[in-house]
Amino acid sequence: MKTDSSYGKRKYALIFFLFALGIMVYILFSTDVFDDNYKKIVRPFSTGWHSAEGVEYNIDYVRTRGEGDVITLEKKLPDGISDGDGLCFETYNADVQVYINHREIYSFTARENFTGRGYGNAFHIARLSPFYAGGTVRITFKCVDPIGGRASVSNVYIGPQLDYVHMSIISRSPSAIVSVLIIVFGLMLLIIYVWVPDKKRLPFDIASLGIAAAVIGVWLFTDSNILQLLSGHIYAIRAVNRISMTLVGYPVISFFNSLTKADRRIFRIIAFWANIIFVALVVGIRFITGIDMIRYFLVSLVLFGAFSLALIVFIFVDNQLYCKANGIEPNLKMFYIAVSVFTLCVIADIILYYNRLSFGDSYGTFTRLGTLFILISVMISFLNWWIRDQADIERDRLVNRVLKYAVSSYSPDESIRLMMESVGKELQAQRIVVLENTNNGKFHGTYAWYEEGRKPGAIDLLYIPHDGYLEELHKNPDIDDHRLIISNLDEYKSSNSPLYNLLITNNVEKLAASSLELNGKLIGIFAVLDPPTNKLSESAEIINLISYFVSQLIMRRDEEKRLRFYSYNDTLSGALNRMAYREYIESGLDMGSSFGYMICEIEGLERANDTKGYEAGDKMVIGLVNCLMDVFGNDNVYRVSGTEFVAFGFESEETFFYNDVDRVRKMTADMGLSIFVGAVFCVYGTLDISMVIGRANELLIEDKKNATL
């Protein structure tokens, strides 16, 4: 029922997902999401510009030669200009003025700010009107880069402001979307970190990774310039962009360090203080000395990046040596793959940059994708750990629940049965068996549990060589702790035919088994038969964990049997002793039903001990007890004193009981033993056992007297 219910849930979930996906696709293709009419309204205006000397240029490729260098270009405006149109463009490191027919209609002068004066991109819209149609527009821009850099005006368009912003955002959306995803991943990791109560259980420092991802995402998102397009703020966004670049060192290094097995604290301390000092220097130099960021920022960032990279390489080299010295597997293959992909993405972006190529009017798209790939790889690793951790927690809870049964009963037998029932129901198995080693070349099925409604079938007295089975428990290098998982029985048809024949005969298709051991000695096998395929591995884990407790319960059971034997059995003959006899006649005997009571003595036992030695007397005792047990059963024979023996018979008729008494006389006589007997049969039981015992003793005395006549 659980399987059918689970399938139903998945089916409805899939149907609902496809339904929701269909609605989203309909919305995308039936609305203005892919409407590109703005491209017809926003007209390119970058070509056909002329200098004062009459040379024609594409303004996108015109650059100044250094600080203070001024470039002036002009071009005629088209005739079809509307009231809502504007001259839209972006600048880099430039002050700019726009004139139409020698009249200034727009100007921008960079001012001092956190990043310096004019370093960075800025978007501009100079409003137009139909009055300017056909007029001459002149753009003058001046470089504000104090170290000989280049200033430019690019991506010039004529059209409505909203359509220009729309177009610019669309062109930058791939980079922006990836950047937002990086931020989302970072925030998710921080939420997970706060939510997890036991931080020590986490597989790596997800707090540092979350901070690093969020900061890198902010850096990349501001670098896409979409925030500037939406808000119109230039300097604040530049400041966020530049300062976020300086804050990624410590969290990134801390995260990489947490991936290692060594996880040395000293590296986190070095990274922390190096990052603090670097940020302090950047801010201090800017505000104390007044030096423009463009003079030193890129160089200092490259130097700090090189230092961080060198420290990370050193961390992993140190970890490799640590793992080698301690025989530990680093398990960083997935990380190396992710870093390799990221490196290839960075190289691709460098090639695009130097060849003046870009995707979506924005550089760094591949670097963003590489960063996202690293984060997704880490998230997959984290989710795999999370799934395993939750499975381990649930497994431990199950084991704890099962172990409660181990202490819930004073009887080891009952505890084992309760544990098997609990495990069977939790794992949805068909059968669970415990096969104990009989030390004579076979296993004996001593305990079994069957799911409700299944017809019991014994797996008992299995004539299979120990080695033929144990090889499968020990030879597989991928399975630890003497576990065996069989998901495809046909694989064992040729490799282990005894095991295959055993399982196929008992209608077993799948199996998870664990050996039961005490002090390194095999005492049995604990097996879950035919659990669901998806629970095979879990079954092996669980029975492997509780097999120790099952072994201990078996040992306790055997110990109790030994203690009970020594307490209630005669050590010489094996018959029950006087203590067991007293308990039985006081509380164990059903005196309301018919039974026979027989007491006997061996004639000449003391004389044999005195004349022939105690060994001869012991043989006489053992011989009599064996005869009594053969006739009346092992559990019905008692040695109540050195010479007296009692046996109970539960025959249905008096004649049968006295026939058994005569059989004992004949068997002992054949052995050369002479015995005295007093026997009483209670057809309707008795109210007073002492009267029965007294009458039997009287008959015993009479038998002795008759023997002397």
**How far is it, in rounded angstroms, from Cα 209 to Cα 211?**
5
Strand partners, 179: none
Percent of the chain past pLDDT 90, that is, above it, reads 20
Strand partners, 127: 86
521, 445: one domain: yes
206, 351: one domain: yes
119, 214: one domain: no
| Residue 653 belongs to domain spanning | 569-708
Angle between helices 265-284 and 293-326 (to 10 degrees): 180
- The answer, yes or no, to whether residue 19 has pLDDT greater than 50, is yes
Name the nearest CA neighbour of 574 among 629, 630, 632, 648. 629
- State the pLDDT confidence band at 71, using cuts at 50, 70 and 90: very high
Per the domain annotation, does 347 fall within a domain? yes
Question: Cβ(506)–Cβ(459) under 8 Å?
Answer: yes
Q: Give the number of domains in the chain.
A: 5
pLDDT value of position 149: 67
414, 333: one domain: no
348, 367: one domain: yes
378, 237: one domain: yes
Mean pLDDT across the stretch 464-484?
50
Q: Which residue has the higher pLDDT, 544 or 188?
A: 188
- The answer, yes or no, to whether residue 21 has pLDDT greater than 90, is no
Residue type, 460: D
553, 573: one domain: no
Per the domain annotation, does 401 fall within a domain? no
User: Which of 63-77, 161-175, 344-358 is predicted with the least confidence, judged by mean pLDDT?
Assistant: 344-358
Per the domain annotation, does 403 fall within a domain? no
pLDDT value of position 35: 64
Residue 160, domain CATH: 2.60.120.260
648, 512: one domain: no
Mean pLDDT across the stretch 320-339?
84
- Which of 137-151, 574-588, 603-617 shows the highest mean pLDDT? 574-588
Angle between helices 235-245 and 206-223 (to 10 degrees): 140
> What does the mean pLDDT of the chain come to?
82
125, 177: one domain: no
pLDDT value of position 354: 66
Enter the pTM of the model: 0.62
- The answer, yes or no, to whether residue 39 has pLDDT greater than 50, is yes
Residue type, 220: L
Per the domain annotation, does 253 fall within a domain? yes
Per the domain annotation, does 130 fall within a domain? yes
pLDDT value of position 386: 77
Render pLDDT for 663-672 as a digit per residue (tens, 0 to 9).
Answer: 999 998 888 8
pLDDT value of position 178: 85
Name the nearest CA neighbour of 348 among 371, 369, 366, 370. 366
Mean pLDDT across the stretch 680-708?
89
pLDDT value of position 709: 57
pLDDT value of position 148: 62
User: Which of 110-114, 417-421, 589-593 is predicted with the least confidence, judged by mean pLDDT?
Assistant: 110-114
pLDDT value of position 659: 92
135, 243: one domain: no
Per the domain annotation, does 395 fall within a domain? no
Render pLDDT for 83-139 as a digit per residue (tens, 0 to 9).
Answer: 889 999 999 888 999 999 989 999 999 887 777 776 778 899 999 999 999 999 999
- Helix, strand, coil distribution of the chain in percent, nearest 5: 55, 20, 25
- Of 167, 192, 227, the last residue of a domain is 167
Residue 579, domain CATH: 3.30.70.270
pLDDT value of position 36: 67
Tokens 């198995």 found at: 429
Mean pLDDT across the stretch 165-188?
86
116, 189: one domain: no
For residue 526 the two structure tokens come to 């604990």
Per the domain annotation, does 197 fall within a domain? yes
- Of 529, 564, 599, the last residue of a domain is 564
Q: Which residue has the higher pLDDT, 444 or 596?
A: 596
- Of 167, 186, 206, the last residue of a domain is 167
pLDDT value of position 537: 79
Mean pLDDT across the stretch 684-696?
90
Q: Kindly state the DSSP code that residue 30 receives in the 8-state scheme.
A: H
Per the domain annotation, does 391 fall within a domain? no
Residue 515, domain CATH: 3.30.450.40
- State the pLDDT confidence band at 38, using cuts at 50, 70 and 90: low
**How far is it, in rounded angstroms, from Cα 188 to Cα 197?**
16
425, 560: one domain: yes
